[in-house]
Structure 1
């Protein structure tokens, strides 16, 4: 089984908005050099989720984790993404697409945001 990873972010018109997400992708690639990693966007930026999924499936990935780089599981994560993944699965029956929880729900992310807020208060 060949694994792939899609880091899925919202997207914005300003290309600088993607810089932190590109840094996340670079760190994941460095930590897991054998895994195909793609950064994809819901809107305004490319590639979109479908293109990233098509690319990884064409590269031979048989299981692809999709990690929403969202702070919470709002409407996009609950409604939009599952439909997009269903479409990908229909096009690539030999590939399993697995939606992960929104990254903002991870305890270590919550702790990091709290630590940044405390640092903003100074000493």
Structure 2
């Protein structure tokens, strides 16, 4: 019981950070909501989704997104696998090569 009690604050914070925006986004998607008039919104139900699905630009964007995902995800996976396999081989400058690959990931980005 003690481990669950110690984990509960972290779980509650995670749930609040993840689920509150999801629920708020779902609620906002069912309204005619304009960001620069946050107090003026009306219920439209699924009309926003009907408008998006009937828009030609939506389908073009979806096609481009699928093409982008189907090319970049396998390319990143393949590049990472090849890099890991190469860095696992024995060669004279292996420690330096490993450091050059790992250090940029450890440095903070501003």
**Looking at both structures, which has the greater relative contact order when contacts are Cα pairs under 8 Å and sequence separation is at least 6?**
1
Normalized per residue, the structure richer in strand is: 1
TM-score scaled by structure 2?
0.29
Bigger radius of gyration, 1 or 2? 2
